[in-house]
Every structure is written in C-alpha cells, then in structure tokens.
Amino acid sequence: MPRIFSIKNEVDSKYIFMLAFMLALFSSGVPPEIVILHLSREDTFEPYTKVFKKIRNLVSGYRYKFSSAITYSIKNLNIRYLKEFLIRLSQAVNFGDDMIESLSREIDFTLSEYNAYSARLIESMNNFLTIYATLNSSLTFLVADITILSLIYSGGTTLITQLTILSLALLGNLTLVMYLLYRPENYIRYNVIDKLLLTLAISLSIIFSIIYTSYIVLMVTGIVLLGVGLRYRIYENKINRIERHFLLFIRYFSRNYAIVSNLKESLMAVLRGDLGDVKPLIKRSLNRLNFGINKEKIFRLIGDESGSVLVSILSKVLYETISMGGNVMIIGEILSKIGDSVLNIRSRKEQNGRAFETSIYALQTASAGVSAALISIVGMLNNIFSTQNVSTVFSFSEVNIDMISRIFLIILLILSFSNGIAITLAYGKSLYVSLYFIGILIILSSISYHIVLILTGNIFKELVSPSGLLQTT
C-alpha cells in the first residue's frame, strides 16, 4: 500500500514550507547553525523537527562540525527526501554556495515533485473509487440473491445473517484501506469538543439505528447527522476562503513591505484592497500593533484566529523573515507559489469529488430501492409457498420478513457511512465533513426504501388477491 508509507517516501506540503522557513532565515544572512537552532524549536514541522533537534544537540552540545553532525544524524533516517536534502545542504555549506539560490532551486524541484506525486495520487484515487463504487453496489444485490436462494432452498435466515456480516466486514476493511491510502493533508484545527462530537455522532447513530431499526429511525438519524455535518462543511468552506485570501494578502504585503520596510504602513496599505474574509484578521492585527503588542504574538494570533494550519505556517514564516531581517519580497513570492500549488491540488480534488458524489447518490438510492423491492418479493413468495397446493410440491423454510427488513436497513446504514467517507476522501475533506454526506445518504436511502416498499407492496398485493394473476387459493 504505497500511500501508507508515503510519509517517508513522498514529499508533503509541510516539508516544502519547512524549506521556505529555512530560506527565510538564510535570506537574513545568519549562519547555518542559527537556522538549525530556529528549526529545532518549531514543532509545526514535525516529524522533521526531530532530525534538526538532533543536529542542534550535536553542534551546540558536543561541538560537532556542521557537516559531521548532519552525517551522523542521517545514518538511521528513513525519510528519503529529507536525507537527500541534508546531504545537499551539507555540501552547499561546505563549498560556500549562495544559500538563497541553492534553497530556491531546492524548493522549485521539491514543488515539482510534490505536484507530480499529487497528480498520480488523484489519478490512482479515481481508479480506486470506481472499483469501490462497483463493489459497494454489488453487495446489496449479492445479499438479495442469497435471500431468494435461502427461501427456495431452505437456507433460512442464518445463511443471510452470516453473509451480511461477511459483506459488512469486507466493506469496513475496504473503507479502512481506502482511508489509509488516500487520507488528505489536514490544514484545519479541531478542538477536543469537535473530536468528541464526531465520535459520539458516529457511535450513537450506529448503535441507536441498529437497536431501533426502522426507516423512520434512519430518517431521524440522517437529519441529525446532516445538521452536524453541515456545520462542519460551512466551517471548512470558510477556512478555505480565508486561506485563498491570505495568499492574496501575502502577495500584497510582501511587495509593500519590500518598499517601505514598516509593518504598520504595510498593513494599512494592504487594507485598502479587497482581502475578503482575511480583512477582519488584518484589522485586528493592526489594532494590536497600535496598542504595542509584540509582533510575534500578532502573527501567531492571525494563525490561531483563522483556525487554519496553513495560515499559521504562512504567518510563522512571514514573521521569521521580518524579525530576522530577511528578504520579504523573495519569501512572499515563494510562499505564494507553494500556497497556489496546495490550493490547485485541492481544486482538482473538489472536481473529482463532485462527479463521484453524484454517482454514489444514484447507486445508494438504487440499492435502497432494490432492498425494499426484495422485501415485497420475499413476502409474496412466503404467501405463495405457504399455500397448501404449493407446499405439497415444494419444500421450503419460511423467512422472517421483519428480520430481513432489519438486515437490509442495517446494510443501507453501513453503506451510507462507507460511501460518505468515500465522498469525503474524494473531495479531500476531513472526516468531520463526512457527517454531512452520510446524513444525505441515509435520508435518500430512507425515502427511497419507504417509497419503493409501498409501491411494490401494493403491486404484489394486487397480484396475490383473489382476482389477481397469482391466486393463493
């Protein structure tokens, strides 16, 4: 499973921002030892920070040379791209290369590699989701076939129950593998309350729906999950808008600051433009600056109040550039380039998510309709086979219709959770937003199940009536 090990084999956006952070420090003219010292204090860039802490300890504590400390630190390092970069960094420092030019080339190369890997991952995800949707839709039809065969060949509900458990276990494993393979990078902060709410919403909805299984209970569960998920979807959409506008702010701010070299005047100049959802954050930052609050705290609060990890990293790099006297113009362009790549990849995922979402809605509705139709068919066959004329010819075991109905409603519930997570991964969103799609799928399943059950029930009731085609007497 390549995605599971991609943390060590393929670059991520956090690594590229770490390179931008190093470039910001080197642009101020500080020696590499100071750059390593600053990096070792930044927990934002974990797991890379651990390596730089080790290098710092060897350089500061044991008086190792810079190149010797790097050589010793990367011996057991299993992050391939970081290991190769540190070797190149050591050589650049030893030969006295221009670190700004060297790191700029490194960022361009790494960014190209990141974009190529993301494109391959999206293509792989599209192929996987196609197979996933096909398998999911076939599970309901498989259980339907076994139900009919159990009725005809006296298999009873035991065989149906066993096959249902097997199908749901297969579906759960497939969803877990899909999540591990294509889990998106998380740029949004959630607190403990949100995590607890997510856990309770999923666990309680499943437990409640299984204990009190009916289409009405599923409908209510879907409405509740839809409401909770809608809150998170609106919140994440707001964060995404903030991130887009913050990149615009960085472009304007870096150009203004490169000319006036004054934080207050640069912020005032940028506020004259259209900054969208970022404008309140910048206004509050300017007010804090007027009250004499520390600049580091001002930039840190921008990231904290935005709720975005991406904005926090961008603010941190921008502050380090200003505080260390680095080249704000160059760093602003680099940050804009990296941010644009991240947002472009996100846009591609959203396009794929819309197409996949539509197909899953259609498949889920069809599965619910087939399940309801099967309940009516099994009920009709029970009535036919229970007649005296037929029972003397065919040997069969009656099937508990209520039990079959509960089984199919549970299958639709678990399918809704799996498909909702699949849609979320296709969009590149977090699991919190999956509650929104799960709620929609449960509501669609409940409505489709109930309507088809009524229609097919009326049809088969007419067929087995005394004046119908299939008379039971």
The whole model's pTM is what? 0.86
Residue 255: Cβ-neighbour burial (10 angstroms; 0-12, 13-18, 19+) = middle
| In a domain? residue 90 | yes
CB 421 within 8 A of CB 434: yes
Domain boundary among 321, 341, 361: 341
Q: How far apart are CA 396 and CA 431, in angstroms?
A: 46
- Is there a single domain that holds both residue 135 and residue 212? yes
Q: Please indicate, yes or no, if residue 184 is contained in any of the structural domains.
A: yes
Give the CA radius of gyration of the chain: 30
- Has residue 304 been placed in a domain? yes
Is 106 a member of any domain? no
Question: Is 103 within the bounds of a domain?
Answer: no
88 with 141, same domain: the answer is no
- The reply to whether 450 falls in a domain is yes
Q: Is residue 201 part of a domain?
A: yes
**Is-contact 439 225, C-beta < 8 A?**
yes
One domain for residues 449 and 355 = yes
- Cα 68 to Cα 48, 55, 62, 76, 393: the distances in Å are 19, 9, 11, 14, 89
- Three-state secondary structure call for residue 406: helix
With residue 440 as reference, give the H or E element that holds it: helix 431-463
User: Do residue 441 and residue 333 come from a single domain?
Assistant: no
Using an 8 Å Cβ cutoff, are 119 and 113 in contact? no
Q: Are residues 444 and 347 in the same domain?
A: yes
Say if residues 310 and 318 touch (Cβ distance below 8 Å): no
Instruction: Tell whether 347 and 446 lie within a shared domain.
Output: yes
The C-alpha atoms of residue 370 and residue 452 are separated, in whole angstroms, by 8
pLDDT of residue 432: 92
Cis peptide before 31 (omega within 30 of 0): no
Determine the length of the chain.
473
Domain match, 127 and 26 both = no
Considering the domain architecture, whether residues 17 and 136 belong to the same structural domain is answered as no
Average pLDDT for the chain = 84
pLDDT at 1: 38
DSSP 472: -
Q: Can you tell me the distance from the alpha carbon of 77 to that of 178, in angstroms, rounded to the nearest whole number? A: 28
378-382-384-389 Cα dihedral, nearest 10 degrees: 150
Q: Exposed (0-12), middle (13-18) or buried (19+): which is 81, by Cβ within 10 Å?
A: middle
Short-list 326, 302, 232, 243, CA closest to 13: 243
Task: State whether 327 and 400 are in the same domain.
Answer: no
Chain centroid to CA 460: 45
Number of domains making up the chain? 3
Residue 60 lies in a domain: yes
The span from the CA of 267 to the CA of 254, in Å, is: 10
Give yes or no: residues 336 and 365 share one domain. Answer: no
* The predicted structure's pLDDT at residue 421: 92
What is the CB-side half-sphere exposure of residue 92 using CA atoms within 13 A? 19
Structure token pair of residue 113 = 């590699």
- Percentage helix, strand, coil, to 5, in the chain? 80, 0, 20
Q: Clarify whether residues 168 and 156 are in a common domain.
A: yes
- Which one of 341, 360, 375 terminates a domain? 341
Q: What is the pLDDT of residues 84-102, one digit of tens each?
A: 899 998 988 888 888 889 9
Q: What sign has the CA pseudo-torsion 411, 354, 177, 48? A: negative
Where among 291, 322, 341 does a domain terminate?
341
Beta bridge partners, 308, equal 188
Q: What is the DSSP string of 247-294?
A: HHHHHHHHHHHHHH--HHHHHHHHHTS--GGGHHHHHHHHHHHHTT--
351 in the same domain as 325:
no
What separation in angstroms does the CA of 455 have from each of 51, 137, 367, 373, 460?
Answer: 66, 22, 16, 9, 9
Give DSSP secondary structure letters for 142-210: HHHHHHHHHHHTT-HHHHHHHHHHHHHHHHHHHHHHHHHHHPPPP-B---HHHHHHHHHHHHHHHHHHH
Residues 137-161: pLDDT tens digits?
777 777 777 777 666 666 566 777 7
pLDDT of residue 23: 92
- Walk along the chain (473 residues) in steps of 10 and give the mean pLDDT of each run: 48 90 90 89 86 89 84 86 89 86 91 91 88 77 70 66 81 87 85 89 87 86 93 92 91 90 89 87 91 90 89 92 90 92 90 88 87 79 62 59 83 90 91 93 91 81 56 50
**Cα separation of 76 and 8, whole Å?**
13
Q: 24-33 in b/e burial notation, b at 16+ Cβ within 10 A?
A: bbbbbebebe
Domain span including residue 226? 122-236+342-463
